């Protein structure tokens, strides 16, 4: 590309070193073009790749090749050259490529901010010293890239569409750079990486056959099985519809997981999609869903989420798993909403390199109503852009379908008219009804305990762990039989054991009165005869109703979820706002479980939220100015957090497995990421000020601080963790006095 730098520079470095650099540029250009061509961005990605390491053609890098310790900022010169060489009318093209070149190591930059790492500062202070004759020899052809980029922009959404195109080029560039570099060192070290995922199109007939065999293995002629077969058949018959956005509205128990997968397989066969991505909001159910698909499809399923335990795999399997999580090249990916959406809005190369493999996918969003409202507009705009420009089909899959095509959101571009895949959602809601919702008015703690006393098995859900703890302690004082407490005060592994015991008691008809926070609604499979739910959003109330008569073994008219307000425990303002909308909806509908009521509730919630509170600025802040672009990639990446909390982790190592992982913190060969995932199941999130107090009082400390820094805070005083209620960090000041620490 450079007219061979070594021919111009009179370099003293070995000529073969410069040939390697030339080869790297050629390989990256080829690989980036291969990845971007299916996206319609092949020429743009190739051009970015040819100039991404242009800053290495300097005398200083010559010194690096001779073994001197010299720092070379090599990712500016290529961007600077393209900006200097571009015709004025194609300035936007050069800027798009400049973002990707500047960011191929440090991450996509902001156009301007106070940092020296921003686009403006780096371009103005370009220190890469490249000889003039080499620069003059470059004649990049911008026209093919310009045609591609302009085809990826709609006038009404130009800024955001252009930003997504930059992200896609960036993904292709950094993946090509990673892969060629990896291949070079693999050759030197005589090693091989197992990346041999089969092509989705090649195995699609086998996947479909395996799915059909799995469906055929189900027997039974009951009403529920008949309905599930009808739903599946109807949904699969819609596979010929043009790719785009769909809803799939099926009540709990209707088989929407398998129905959505059946549609995806048939739809991909019709339209040539490249993979299936199944995104789930809760890590508590992702392993269950991934397990179902793995039993059907064997080893072509990639499970990617933060709590995956790499240690349960062999070394070769771990290597393949790690590589697959980098680029999502697997035929079927089961992941979390956090992994999917935060990657789509990320700036870091390691997080972004999978984006080009998301294109051309069928993306199934399970429990679609769980998209955070504060990020709703950027999330919907991203999905719309993927469907419009990048060949994706999106399925919003849930029992409580959000009104994403409501008048409040219609201007954001989602086209969902007549794109419902399920047959008669309102009729299905009636036929698959298992419980009823009734209004109970005000109920204080004493009234709630009296109500639970009247039922040997019952579920009580409240809005805060403080309220749950107070109710549990009051019920214990009343000697209520079979009382169980479930809360995020308990670490996840402990909660799973509690739920196993709850299911055992329910099955054996023993006394079981569970007091829980909303975490029980997160896809947890339990079946109570009755329940009570503190007023909240209607979506949460419907999810709570899904834990009542879940197995449909009882009369529907006796299976009731009672909604109540708790005068002694006012909810947070956000929850109260959602509850107000629920009460408003209840004035117009006797049946709060009907799809019509759910839709009206969502519409009212969106109507009451300003565009700013729905995340509008994350869409509209991608601006075109008289000077070109003003894109804040890094700021948006920092702001787009699906789980935003002021809480911090404390590891509770009361079990041998956790203690084993704590001992491994001192082994430097084990990565912190591997250890963090292994310890996630033993972690409790608490307020930061309370963790500071635990540490100050000697109840917790950062283990292996020298090697790991302030990453692994471990509870040292296990007296603060109780089997029935979990971590009682509020007791720390008292215990500090008792132990003579303060």
163-190 pLDDT per residue, tens? 999 999 999 999 999 888 877 766 766 6
Give the mean pLDDT of 726-731.
88
- Give residue-wise pLDDT tens across range 466-513: 999 999 999 999 999 999 999 999 999 999 999 999 999 999 999 999
Q: Which residues pair with 249 in a beta bridge?
A: 398
Percent of the chain residues topping a pLDDT of 70: 87
Query: What's this model's pTM, rounded to 2 decimal places?
Result: 0.88
Pairing of strands 436-442, 560-565: parallel
Q: What's the confidence (pLDDT) of residue 677?
A: 81
Q: What's the confidence (pLDDT) of residue 320?
A: 45
Q: Three-class SS string for 410-479? A: HHHCCCCCCCECCCCHHHHHHHCCCCEEEEEEECCHHHHHHHHHCCCEEEEECCCHHHHHHHHHHHHHCC
Examine the pLDDT at 10 and tell me if it is beyond 60: no
Q: What's the confidence (pLDDT) of residue 289?
A: 87
Q: What's the confidence (pLDDT) of residue 201?
A: 94
Q: What does the alpha-carbon distance between residue 550 and residue 543 come to, in Å, rounded to a whole number? A: 11
Q: What's the confidence (pLDDT) of residue 3?
A: 40
Contact (CB, 8 A) for 347 and 107? yes
Question: Would you say how long the chain is, in residues?
Answer: 742
Examine the pLDDT at 219 and tell me if it is beyond 90: no
Q: What's the confidence (pLDDT) of residue 588?
A: 94
- Give residue-wise pLDDT tens across range 60-117: 777 766 777 767 677 888 898 899 889 999 999 999 999 999 999 999 999 988 787 8
- In terms of Cβ atoms closer than 10 Å to its own Cβ (0-12, 13-18, 19+), residue 708 is middle
- Phi and psi at 277, nearest 5°, equal -115, 120
Give the mean pLDDT of 627-640.
93
Examine the pLDDT at 11 and tell me if it is beyond 50: no
Give the mean pLDDT of 540-568.
93
Q: What does the alpha-carbon distance between residue 315 and residue 258 come to, in Å, rounded to a whole number? A: 32
Q: What's the confidence (pLDDT) of residue 192?
A: 62
CA 145 to chain centre: 31
Q: What's the confidence (pLDDT) of residue 315?
A: 44
The 10 Å Cβ neighbour count of residue 480 is 17
Report CA torsion sign: 31, 32, 37, 39: positive
Give the mean pLDDT of 385-402.
94
Pairing of strands 560-565, 531-534: parallel
Contact (CB, 8 A) for 256 and 250? yes
The helix (H) or strand (E) run that includes residue 531 is strand 531-534
Pairing of strands 332-336, 301-304: parallel
- How confident is residue 739, by pLDDT bands cut at 50, 70 and 90? very low
Contact (CB, 8 A) for 328 and 296? no
Contact (CB, 8 A) for 145 and 97? yes
Contact (CB, 8 A) for 163 and 92? no
> Mean pLDDT highest for which of 185-189, 211-215, 645-649?
211-215
Contact (CB, 8 A) for 137 and 67? no
Q: What does the alpha-carbon distance between residue 11 and residue 16 come to, in Å, rounded to a whole number? A: 11
- Give residue-wise pLDDT tens across range 278-305: 999 887 678 778 889 999 998 899 887 6
Examine the pLDDT at 317 and tell me if it is beyond 80: no
Q: Average model confidence (pLDDT) for the chain?
A: 87
Query: How many helices (H) does the chain have, and how many strands (E)?
Result: 33, 20
Give the mean pLDDT of 210-218.
92
- How confident is residue 151, by pLDDT bands cut at 50, 70 and 90? very high
- Give residue-wise pLDDT tens across range 410-460: 766 566 667 899 999 999 998 999 999 999 999 999 999 999 999 999 999
- Phi and psi at 323, nearest 5°, equal -65, -40
- How confident is residue 522, by pLDDT bands cut at 50, 70 and 90? confident
Closest CA to 582 of 538, 534, 533: 538
- How confident is residue 323, by pLDDT bands cut at 50, 70 and 90? low
């Amino acid at each position: 590309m450079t007219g061979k730098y070594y021919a111009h520079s009179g370099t003293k470095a070995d000529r073969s070193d410069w040939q390697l650099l030339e080869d790297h540029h050629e390989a990256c250009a080829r690989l980036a073009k291969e990845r971007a061509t299916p996206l319609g961005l092949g020429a743009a990605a190739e051009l970015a790749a040819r100039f991404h390491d242009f800053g290495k053609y300097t005398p200083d890098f010559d010194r690096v090749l001779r073994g001197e310790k010299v720092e070379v900022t090599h990712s500016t010169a290529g961007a600077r050259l393209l900006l200097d060489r571009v015709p004025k009318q194609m300035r936007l093209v050069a800027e798009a490529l400049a973002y990707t070149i500047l960011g191929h190591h440090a991450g996509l930059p902001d156009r301007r901010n106070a940092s020296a790492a921003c686009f403006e500062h780096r371009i103005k202070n370009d220190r890469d010293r490249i000889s003039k004759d080499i620069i003059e020899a470059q004649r990049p052809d911008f026209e093919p890239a310009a045609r591609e980029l302009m085809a990826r922009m709609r006038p009404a959404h130009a800024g955001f569409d252009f930003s997504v195109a930059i992200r896609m080029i960036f993904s292709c560039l950094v993946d090509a750079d990673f892969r060629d570099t990896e291949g070079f060192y693999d050759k030197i070290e005589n090693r091989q990486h197992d990346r041999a995922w089969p092509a989705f199109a090649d195995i699609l007939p086998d996947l479909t056959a395996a799915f059909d065999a799995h469906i055929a293995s189900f027997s039974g002629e009951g009403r529920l099985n008949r309905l599930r077969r009808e739903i599946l058949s109807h949904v699969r018959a819609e596979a010929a519809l043009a790719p785009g956005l769909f809803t799939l509205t099926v009540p709990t128990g209707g088989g929407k997981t398998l129905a959505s997968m059946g549609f995806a397989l048939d739809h991909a066969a019709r339209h040539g999609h490249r993979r299936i991505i199944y995104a789930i909001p809760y890590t508590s159910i992702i392993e269950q869903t991934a397990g179902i698909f793995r039993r059907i499809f064997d080893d072509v399923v990639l499970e990617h989420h933060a709590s995956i335990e790499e240690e349960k795999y062999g070394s070769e399997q771990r290597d393949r798993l790690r590589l697959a999580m980098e680029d999502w090249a697997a035929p079927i990916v089961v992941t979390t909403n956090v992994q999917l959406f935060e990657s789509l809005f990320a700036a870091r190369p390691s997080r972004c390199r999978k984006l080009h493999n998301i294109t051309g996918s069928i993306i199934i969003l399970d429990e679609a109503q769980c998209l955070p409202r504060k990020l709703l507009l950027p999330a919907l705009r991203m999905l719309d852009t993927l469907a419009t420009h990048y060949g994706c089909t999106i399925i919003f899959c849930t029992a409580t379908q959000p009104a994403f095509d409501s008048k409040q959101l219609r201007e954001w571009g989602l086209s969902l008219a007549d794109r419902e895949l399920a047959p008669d959602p309102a009729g299905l809601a009636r036929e698959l009804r298992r419980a009823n919702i009734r209004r109970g008015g005000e109920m204080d703690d004493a009234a709630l305990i009296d109500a639970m006393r009247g039922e040997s098995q019952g579920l009580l859900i409240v809005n805060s762990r403080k309220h749950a703890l107070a109710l549990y302690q009051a019920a214990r004082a009343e000697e209520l039989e079979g009382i169980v407490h479930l809360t995020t005060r308990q670490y996840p592994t402990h909660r799973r054991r509690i739920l196993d015991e709850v299911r055992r008691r329910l099955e054996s008809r023993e006394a079981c009165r569970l007091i829980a926070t909303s975490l029980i609604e997160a896809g947890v499979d339990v079946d109570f005869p009755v329940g009570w739910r503190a007023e909240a959003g209607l979506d949460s109330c419907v999810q709570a109703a899904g834990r009542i008569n879940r197995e449909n073994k009882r009369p529907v008219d006796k299976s009731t979820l009672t909604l109540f307000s708790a005068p002694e425990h006012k909810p947070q303002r956000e929850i109260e706002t959602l509850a107000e909308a629920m009460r408003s909806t209840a004035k117009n509908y006797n049946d709060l479980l009907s799809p019509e009521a759910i839709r009206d509730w969502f519409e009212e919630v969106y109507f009451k939220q300003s565009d700013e509170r729905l995340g509008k600025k994350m869409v509209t802040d991608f601006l075109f100015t008289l000077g070109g672009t003003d894109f804040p990639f890094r700021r948006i990446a920092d702001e787009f957090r699906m789980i935003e909390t002021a809480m911090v982790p404390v590891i509770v190592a009361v079990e041998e497995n956790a203690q084993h992982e704590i001992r491994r913190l001192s082994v430097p060969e084990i990565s912190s990421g591997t250890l963090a995932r292994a310890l996630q199941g033993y972690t409790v999130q608490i307020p930061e000020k309370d963790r500071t107090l635990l540490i100050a009082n000697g109840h917790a400390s950062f283990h292996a601080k020298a090697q790991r820094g302030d990453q692994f805070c471990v509870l040292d005083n296990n007296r603060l963790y109780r089997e029935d209620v979990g971590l009682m960090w509020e007791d720390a000041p008292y215990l500090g006095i008792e132990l003579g620490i303060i």
